[in-house]
Each structure stands twice: as structure tokens, then as C-alpha cells.
């Protein structure tokens, strides 16, 4: 195993483990939604790193860490979704002019806040379990050993083998993403849009992990990937909203007439935002194609131009 590659793995995983550890108390307290957000992002980045660097650590550690981090990501996901939805509803109510819409929107908000409170004990349990198992402590211990070795050898991560391996990871992620790009021809191919969003996240995290190897040459590409990810995320969030609102309507049929204006307001707002986000996504993707973005990324990371 190339020592530079192991050093890249150790630095990144150690940083994300520290980032996650720093959020645990805030996640438990639930006073600021950003703690859940930062913790969730750290778990996703750790999962990407553990996949990329699986052969840098003993298999028993990798298996144990991946299982624990995956469970933590899942436990944070529903809570984060509700946090974002509640924040959106607060903004809608603050800007609302039509009083007839207030009962429906307020009823959704009460339901979502109830759901979020119900989720919190599960979130706390997940944080406690992660800490009790010593997962983050193990990560810091194993990565510290690699960092000590690199200091002794005076070795940095920018070795030819490390750059080549990182480039192959990026190209595989990019190829998977491009396999799904034809889904943009259909605004309602939701399953493949969701798969494309996941592929984008994995590509972005892999590029961010590899960023120190490329002396700034990936910076603009990462910004572009983030923008595509944001637009696809908006499309996905609107789809989730519309599904949840349909479920809410089904559960509230007895008093739906009074709530109808607010519910219909939210439904139309989310449909409108979805149309806008998807249009922007298609236009930006065409712009990237027009400037040969993917060919340039392949060239930077050592792949053959298309």
C-alpha cells in the first residue's frame, strides 16, 4: 500500500471523525438544527472515505466503522428532513398575506413539529450508541498511527500512485453519474433523478477527498458539481414534500375543507419550485456539456478525453 494514499486517508478520516464528534452534544440538545446538519454531512463524508480507503485499514475496523456510520446517517436523516421542512414552513408563515391559508399551513407545521419531537429520542440513542462503541475514538487512534509513520518517513500524500488511484475513483464516480444523465430528458423520472442525486454526492465527496492532490485544479469543478447537486436536491425535496402533503391530506380528511387553502398553497408552491429547479438543472447541465466540463474533469484526473 502506497504510504501517500494511506496518509491522504488518515488525514481526511481523522478530520471528519473530529467534525462528527464535535456535533454530538449539540445534536442531543436539539437547540440548533445546524448540529444535525453538520453531523449528517460528516457521516456521509466518512462513508465516502471508508469506501475509497477500505484497503488502508484492517478489514475488521472498516466493517465495524462502516456499519456504525451508516446507522448514524440513517438516524439523522429523518430528523434533518423534518428540521428543514419546519424551517421552510416558518418562512412561509412569516411571509404569508392570505389569512385563509394559515390554518392549513399551521396544521402541517404542528404535525411536523410533533414528528420531530418523536424522532429526537431515537437520534439521542444513536449518538449515545456511536459514542459508547468508541467508533470515533478508534478512527482517531488508527489514523494517528498512520500520521506518526508518515512523519517518520517525511512522506506527503502527493505521490504518483496516490494521484492515480484517486483519479480512478473520481472517474468511476463520474461514469456512474453520466450513465444517468439521460433521465434529465424526463422531468418525472423521479427514481433515476434520485439515483443521479446520490451519484452526484458520491462524486463530490470523492473529489473533495482528493482535492489536496490537485493543487487547486479541482476547485472550480467541485463548485459546478455542488450547483448541480443543489438543484437536484431541490427537485428531490419538492417530490418528498408533495408525497408528505398527500399523506397529510389522507390523514386529515375529516377537517380538510378548513385546511384546504393552506394545503393547496403549499402544494402549488412546491410544484412551482420543482418546475423551476428542474428547468435550471437542465439548462445548467447543457451549459456544462457545452463547455466540455466532463472531458476537462477526465483530463485533470488522468482519464482519456471523451
**Grid cell of 6 as nine digits:** 494511506
Same domain, 140 and 28: yes
Q: State pTM to two decimals.
A: 0.90
Q: What is the Cα Rg of the chain in Å? A: 22
The domain boundary residue, chosen from 134, 157, 180: 157
Cell numbers for 106: 399551521
The CA–CA distances, whole Å, from 273 to 63, 78, 170, 277, 281 equal 40, 22, 31, 6, 12
The total number of residues written for the chain in this structure = 306
Please check whether residues 145 and 272 belong to one and the same domain. no
The single residue listed with the C-alpha cell 482517531 is: 140
**Residues 6 or more apart whose Cβ sits within 8 Å of residue 214:** 163, 300, 301
Q: pLDDT by residue (tens digit) across 245-283?
A: 999 888 877 776 889 999 999 999 999 999 999 999 999
Shared domain for 244 and 294, answered yes or no, is yes
Cα–Cα dist 306/301, whole Å = 13
Assess whether 12 and 141 both reside in one domain.
yes
Half-sphere exposure of 61 (CA within 13 A, CB side): 18
| 12: nearest Cα among 153, 218, 207, 151 | 207
Q: Quick check: 122 and 75 in contact, CB under 8 A?
A: yes
**pLDDT, tens digit, 9 for 90 and up, residues 24-68:** 999 999 999 999 999 999 999 999 999 999 999 999 999 999 999
Q: Looking at the structure, tell me whether residues 114 and 166 fall in a common domain.
A: no
Q: What is the pLDDT of residues 167-214, one digit of tens each?
A: 999 999 999 999 999 999 999 999 999 999 999 999 999 999 999 999
Considering the chain, what is the average pLDDT of its residues? Answer: 92
Please give the pLDDT value at position 153: 54
pLDDT at res. 306: 41
* Number of domain units in the chain: 2
Q: 6 and 148: one domain?
A: yes
Statement to judge: residues 198 and 299 lie in one domain: yes
Distance of CA 21 to the CA centre of its chain: 18
Same domain? 143 vs 175: no
Residues 181 and 66 in one domain: no
pLDDT in tens, 85-119: 999 999 999 999 888 999 999 999 999 999 999 99
Instruction: Tell whether 148 and 176 lie within a shared domain.
Output: no
Q: Domain with 148 in it: what CATH number?
A: 1.40.20.10
138: containing domain:
1-157
3-class DSSP state of 301: coil
- Find the mean pLDDT for residues 128-139: 96
Amino acid at each position: 500500500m502506497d504510504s501517500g494514499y494511506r496518509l491522504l486517508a488518515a488525514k481526511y478520516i481523522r478530520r471528519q471523525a473530529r467534525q462528527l464528534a464535535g456535533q454530538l452534544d449539540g445534536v442531543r440538545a436539539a437547540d440548533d438544527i445546524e448540529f444535525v446538519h453538520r453531523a449528517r454531512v460528516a457521516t456521509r463524508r466518512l462513508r465516502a472515505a471508508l469506501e475509497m480507503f477500505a484497503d488502508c485499514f484492517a478489514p475488521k475496523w472498516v466493517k465495524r466503522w462502516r456499519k456504525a456510520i451508516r446507522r448514524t446517517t440513517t438516524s439523522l436523516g429523518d430528523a434533518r428532513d423534518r428540521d428543514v421542512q419546519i424551517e421552510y414552513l416558518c418562512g412561509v408563515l412569516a411571509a404569508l398575506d392570505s389569512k385563509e391559508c394559515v390554518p392549513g399551513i399551521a396544521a402541517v407545521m404542528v404535525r411536523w413539529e410533533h414528528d420531530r419531537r418523536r424522532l429526537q429520542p431515537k437520534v439521542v440513542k444513536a449518538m449515545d450508541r456511536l459514542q459508547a462503541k468508541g467508533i470515533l475514538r478508534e478512527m482517531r487512534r488508527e489514523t494517528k498511527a498512520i500520521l506518526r509513520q508518515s512523519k517518520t518517513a517525511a512522506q506527503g500524500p502527493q505521490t504518483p500512485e496516490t494521484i492515480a488511484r484517486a483519479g480512478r475513483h473520481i472517474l468511476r464516480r463520474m461514469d456512474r453519474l453520466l450513465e444517468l444523465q439521460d433521465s434529465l430528458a424526463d422531468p418525472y423520472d423521479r427514481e433515476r433523478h434520485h439515483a443521479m442525486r446520490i451519484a452526484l454526492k458520491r462524486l463530490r465527496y470523492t473529489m473533495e477527498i482528493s482535492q489536496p492532490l490537485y493543487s487547486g485544479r479541482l476547485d472550480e469543478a467541485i463548485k459546478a458539481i455542488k450547483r448541480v447537486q443543489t438543484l437536484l436536491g431541490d427537485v428531490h425535496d419538492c417530490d418528498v414534500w408533495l408525497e408528505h402533503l398527500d399523506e397529510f391530506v389522507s390523514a386529515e380528511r375529516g377537517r380538510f375543507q378548513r385546511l384546504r387553502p393552506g394545503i393547496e398553497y403549499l402544494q402549488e408552491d412546491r410544484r412551482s419550485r420543482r418546475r423551476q429547479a428542474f428547468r435550471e438543472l437542465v439548462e445548467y447541465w447543457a451549459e456544462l456539456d457545452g463547455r466540455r466540463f466532463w472531458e476537462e474533469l477526465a483530463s485533470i484526473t488522468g482519464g482519456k478525453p471523451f
